[in-house]
Amino acid sequence: MLLQPMPAVHMPKATDTPTRSRARHETRDIGRRARHPGTTHEAAEPAVDGGAGTASVGLEAQQEPAVTAMATRLRSDPSSDPTTGAELGSEVPRSNDLG
């Protein structure tokens, strides 16, 4: 089997003039990015529930003490230094595990 060389492929250069259609799309995309950098939508949408769009929860009077107790119980303790899963698998025990 005789291998043939690959045919030359035209690669556009920076100096090539873009087609009219491509130039129009590039201009439109540049304008869209300037108006909304980092977004993919054109306009903000109102909140589905008719609210302000911020995070909020409406509680009944009997639910509030339970939620407050749960928040207190789940509050993080920045001074704690619990043993992690990686440390459990290590061969060297941590100083606070020696007891």
pLDDT (tens digit, 9 = 90+) per residue, 2-45? 666 666 666 666 555 555 555 555 555 555 555 555 656 556 67
Contacts of 18 (CB under 8 A, 6+ apart): 26
Distance, CA of 66 to CA of 62 (rounded, Å):
8
Answer yes or no: are the C-beta atoms of 97 and 83 closer than 8 Å.
Answer: yes
Query: Looking up tokens 């291998």, which residue turns up?
Result: 3
> Model's pTM, two decimal places?
0.31
Answer yes or no: are the C-beta atoms of 47 and 53 closer than 8 Å.
Answer: yes
Distance, CA of 94 to CA of 87 (rounded, Å):
8
